[in-house]
């Protein structure tokens, strides 16, 4: 059975359970790194090490890896890594639900006010995380999403071409002014993300959805590496299949949105007549 067929429907997904007591009692991190993984046993250890190398000493962080019911040794590897990496938390889906749902489960479990997402296969370079943080430090407060932009994509010709066409069509239809929405590395505010409408594959539309909510988004050039182990979970045809429905859905959401600033009256001031 194909990976797509095995997925449960989006409405069934991601019912969060309470975090273990030790996690709830630990000091709050400033940043949560959320990594969705499905069958990435031979990639995950090196990636976690790179994240720690980049962030230890510069940021109080946690790493939330969401295992989407992998069928390989991913979960066993993560279990073995936990005693060596105190920042590591592992969240497990009871069954496979897809990348968007895994990201959402990780963001829900995360305790940092800001989130960095990374693909679990090592194609995103953790050395770009400090770059995204520097962009945030220099940006206006209305910018709540910093999206990685793979300027030189390190994938086969077929995937590069499909991605170029998909990005061009989406950009034209949604006018989200974002050259690359499929890049796995992103920095965003947790609360803003959790306010977005949820649907399977929503992770490809985050700039448009954030803009719909009234926030600004910025694209940041990042590096992109070749996959060195395991295999891609997506086919061009599979992506195309859902892309039309999703594009129409997101366009509808944008048409039907209303954005308004809401302010609460100061309790000190007398009510106006």
Sites of contact with Mg ion (CB under 5 A): 121, 123
102 binds, among Mg ion, ligand GDP, none (CB under 5 to 8 A by kind): ligand GDP
Shortest distance in whole angstroms from residue 227 CB to Mg ion: 5
Max CA separation in the chain (angstroms): 68
Shortest Å, Cβ 92 to ligand GDP: 10
Residue 31 bridge partners (DSSP): 61, 114
Q: Which residues bind to ligand GDP, rule: CB under 6 A?
A: 36-38, 40, 66, 68, 96, 98-99, 102, 119-121, 123, 184, 232-234
| Minimum distance from residue 254 beta carbon to ligand GDP (Å) | 25
Partner whose footprint covers residue 176, from ligand GDP, Mg ion, none (CB < 5 to 8 Å by kind):
none
Q: Which is nearer to ligand GDP, 11 or 269 (CB)?
A: 11
Q: Nearer to Mg ion by C-beta: 190 or 201?
A: 201
Q: In the complex with Mg ion, which residue's Cβ is closer, 121 or 200?
A: 121
Tell me whether residue 87 or residue 121 sits nearer to ligand GDP (CB atom). Answer: 121
Is residue 230 a contact partner of residue 160, using CB atoms and an 8 Å limit?
Answer: no
Is residue 19 packed enough to be buried (19+ CB in 10 Å), middle (13-18) or exposed (0-12)?
Answer: middle
Q: Which of Mg ion, ligand GDP, none has residue 105 at its interface (CB below 5 to 8 Å by kind)? A: none
Of 70 and 211, nearer to ligand GDP (C-beta) is 70
Work out what residue 36 binds among ligand GDP, Mg ion, none; the CB cut-off runs from 5 to 8 Å by kind: ligand GDP
| Comparison of 86 and 158: residue with beta carbon closer to ligand GDP | 158
Q: Closest approach of Cβ 257 to ligand GDP, in Å?
A: 28
Spatial contact of 87 and 62, defined as CB atoms under 8 Å apart: yes
Least distance in angstroms from the C-beta of 121 to Mg ion? 4
């Amino acid at each position: 059975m194909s990976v797509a067929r095995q997925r449960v429907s989006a409405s069934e997904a991601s019912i969060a359970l309470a975090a273990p007591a030790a996690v709830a009692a630990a000091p709050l991190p400033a940043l949560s790194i959320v990594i969705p993984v499905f069958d990435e046993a031979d990639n995950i250890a090196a990636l976690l090490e790179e994240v720690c190398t980049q962030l230890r000493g510069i940021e109080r962080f946690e790493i939330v890896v969401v295992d989407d019911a992998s069928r390989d040794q991913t979960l066993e590897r993560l279990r073995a890594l936990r005693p060596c990496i105190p920042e590591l938390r592992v969240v497990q889906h009871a069954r496979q639900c897809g990348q968007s749902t895994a990201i959402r489960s990780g963001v829900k479990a995360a305790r940092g006010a800001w989130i960095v997402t990374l693909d679990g296969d090592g194609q995103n370079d953790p050395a770009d995380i400090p770059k995204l943080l520097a962009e945030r430090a220099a940006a206006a407060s209305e910018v709540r999403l910093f999206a990685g932009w793979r300027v030189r994509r390190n994938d086969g010709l077929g995937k590069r071409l499909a991605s170029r066409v998909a990005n061009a069509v989406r950009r034209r239809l949604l006018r989200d002014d974002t050259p690359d929405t499929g890049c796995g590395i992103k920095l965003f505010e947790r609360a803003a993300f959790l306010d977005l409408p949820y649907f399977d594959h929503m992770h490809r539309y985050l700039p448009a959805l954030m803009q719909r909510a009234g926030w600004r988004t910025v694209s940041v050039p990042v590096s992109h590496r070749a996959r060195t182990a395991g295999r891609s979970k997506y086919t061009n045809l599979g992506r195309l299949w859902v892309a039309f429905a999703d594009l129409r859905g997101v366009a509808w959401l944008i048409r039907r949105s209303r954005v308004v600033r809401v302010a609460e009256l100061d309790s000190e001031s007398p009510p106006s007549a």
